Amino acid sequence: MHKMNRDHAAKARKAIAACDFDPHTDLKDSIKDILVDVAHLCDAEGIDFVERVQKAINTWAVERIDPLSLADGPTVEITIGTEGLPEPPEPVKRPSKRDKSRPA
């Protein structure tokens, strides 16, 4: 592995450590957890998470071969299906102020 890529891996380890995840969680789960947290941050900021992941995979693929390359890299396509998703929860119906009874 190229030194620049080892440096990037070290930064990622520091980022995961800074997240203060459960210390009994293995590295694979911590990586998933930080990606999920970044996805929620993207939602909060109006950033297209999937687009950013596609670009990251594209850049990573190039850097694995040559960290200094400016090549465009491969096409990356991500498809998110709906199979396996839970049903949305039913909205909670709150009584309106008019429906509340007032004490006498």
Domain extent, residue 17, equals 3-65
Total tally of structural domains belonging to the chain: 1
Q: Which two tokens stand for residue 8?
A: 């990037």
Q: Is 93 part of any domain? A: no
Give the model's confidence band at 104: pLDDT under 50 very low, under 70 low, under 90 confident, else very high: low
Q: What is the pLDDT of residue 71?
A: 93
From 79, 39, 72, select the one nearest 55 (Cα to Cα): 72
pLDDT at 50 over 70: yes
For the question of whether the overall pTM of this predicted structure is more than 0.85, the answer is no
Q: Is 86 part of any domain? A: no
Q: Is 47 part of any domain? A: yes
Average pLDDT, the chain: 90
Q: Is 99 part of any domain? A: no
Instruction: Give me the helix-helix angle, 27-45 and 49-65, nearest 10°.
Output: 130
Q: Is 96 part of any domain? A: no
How wide is the angle at C-alpha 66 spanned by C-alphas 60 and 71, nearest 5°? 75
pLDDT at 97 over 80: no
pLDDT in tens, 3-43: 999 999 999 989 988 888 887 888 999 999 999 999 999 99
